[in-house]
Amino acid sequence: MYDLLITNASVVTMDRRHRILSPGFVAVRGKTIAAVGPMEELPSGAGARRTIDGTRLAVLPGLIDAHGHAGHCLIRTLGEQSTHWISMANEIYDRFTDDFFWYADGALAAAERLKFGITTGVSMMGSSSRCDRVELLEAHFEGSLKTGIRQFAGLGCAAPPWPKTIRHWQGDSFREYEAHPRDAAVNARQALLRFADGHPRRFCIVAPSTMGRKAGMDDAFSAAENRTMHELSREFGVILHTHAYGGDVEFLHETTPEALCPSLSLTHCTGLSEREVSILAETGAWVLHGPTTRSVIRRRCPVYELLRAGARLAVVSDGTSPDRSFDLWREMKVFQVIHRAHEGDTMLAPPGMVLELCTIRAAEALGMGGQLGSLEPGKRADLITIDLNQPHLAPAPTPELLVQRLVYHAQGQDVRDVFVDGEQAVGNRRLLLCGEEEILRDADRAFADLSVRLGPGRMRRFTQNHGLYALRAESEF
């Protein structure tokens, strides 16, 4: 007896054989996938506690967003036209947030991700790692996990300058104190110990702001901090998740080469040298590429140089902000456009490969390739359904062209149902494990409280729109 059986669906397995089964079935027993196959192989009389007719539905493994930022959901309406959005964000996170802010944001981000078909998400605490209090991470986990998502998050060294002036708000009052680099390592360890209870959907990781040279700090300090983060990761057997840019990979290779390994994931990697591309390919460290992030506009991530060299790559959302969302379906399309344009080849980034970068490859980056990222017996029952019975996805594609149709035309809003560990978290586009209206009310309340703490002057400064309809320069013609 199965617990869940989806029949007559177009099943995109994302397995090594790239099987597309149409019509096909997926059977779930408990938290794991029990069987996947074409309908003719479904045993006669196979029973299930619940059966879903998958006619005109595509069934895929849950998408995996291997990098985002906690906090961004609640401030994405601020600083719309600011070129200093990150500085604004760090000021807000360090000086004007309370525990409820991180709880409400965690729930809102998880709700957005789930409804876009993301069953596993990774979030850094703030823009630069907010590393002074484990309670903030606890609030983030509490908010996100109530939705049913599988959540990765952790603490680590924040970006300089040091020390940082932090305000701990309780109601209308706050306690101000200084945070120092040593606090980051202590609190990261405390978090790893506190959240090591085996919760099936909570994964505490080591998440410093950057690995490489720290701006304004000497090389000895940077190398020591990198080494500490790597040693914590190895001690607790978790991934080390961070940012890196041009020059950082060579610095790691020169000072702490042991940190460059498959359990290290480096987001952005813009401005890499040829030597750094080779180092990443040789060491197996992961590159997490957010196609719509502003860092890609300023400097290029050499995606196809990395792929040709044999480096490991996944596509991520980089979280929400004024100009992007958690919609990985949009990221897939932007990924194709920008890299095809750079290479001058419209046949690069084929749809199947791009979908892999948001499923099985992202699972491997998190060290969970044997459990997530494809629909195969024995793996966790993380799966989503997409409603194909819509004008922009019609006519019904042949199995050979189904992935092409999904990657080119599907949107996050086309996701109908979401299951995590066999438990349904989204049904017919509605959250099922918690109140969606409550999440939205909490988000409104947290933002209203933040606005009061910021005060009228900062709110005016953070909400000014400079030239929304104006050209920045004549050169734009």
Q: Considering only CA atoms, which of 323, 322, 319 is closest in space to residue 69?
A: 319
| Ranges 83-87, 144-148, 168-172, 316-320: which has the least confidence | 83-87
Q: Is 70 exceeded by the pLDDT of residue 299?
A: yes
Q: CATH 3.20.20.140 occupies which residues in the chain?
A: 63-365
Q: What digits encode the pLDDT tens for the residues 218-233?
A: 999 999 999 999 999 9
Cα–Cα distance measured from residue 203 to residue 287, given in angstroms and rounded to the nearest whole number = 20
Mean pLDDT over all residues of the chain? Answer: 95
Q: What is the pLDDT of residue 276?
A: 98
- Residues 6 or more apart from 149 whose CB is under 8 A from it? 110, 113, 114, 118, 119, 120, 121, 201, 420, 425
Q: What is the pLDDT of residue 129?
A: 83
Q: What is the pLDDT of residue 416?
A: 98
Tokens of 111: 């709700």
* Protein fold of 63-365: TIM Barrel (3.20.20)
- Provide, rounded to the nearest whole percent, the portion of the chain with pLDDT above 90: 89
Q: What is the pLDDT of residue 82?
A: 59
Please name the CATH architecture into which domain 4-61+373-431 falls: Roll (2.30)
Q: CATH 2.30.40.10 occupies which residues in the chain?
A: 4-61+373-431
Q: Is 70 exceeded by the pLDDT of residue 183?
A: yes
pLDDT (average), residues 199-215: 96
Asked if 8 and 55 count as a contact pair (C-beta separation under 8 A), the reply is yes
Q: What digits encode the pLDDT tens for the residues 122-137?
A: 999 998 889 999 999 9
pLDDT (average), residues 399-416: 97
- Residues 6 or more apart from 367 whose CB is under 8 A from it? 239, 262, 263
Asked if 331 and 292 count as a contact pair (C-beta separation under 8 A), the reply is yes
Q: What is the pLDDT of residue 295?
A: 83
Q: What is the pLDDT of residue 91?
A: 94
pLDDT category at 476 given cuts 50, 70, 90 is very low
**One-letter amino acid for residue 188 of the chain:** A
Output the pTM of the full model.
0.96
- Provide, rounded to the nearest whole percent, the portion of the chain with pLDDT above 70: 96
Q: What is the pLDDT of residue 472?
A: 57
Q: Considering only CA atoms, which of 277, 331, 270, 274 is closest in space to residue 301?
A: 270
Q: Is 50 exceeded by the pLDDT of residue 425?
A: yes
Q: What is the pLDDT of residue 469?
A: 64
pLDDT category at 477 given cuts 50, 70, 90 is very low
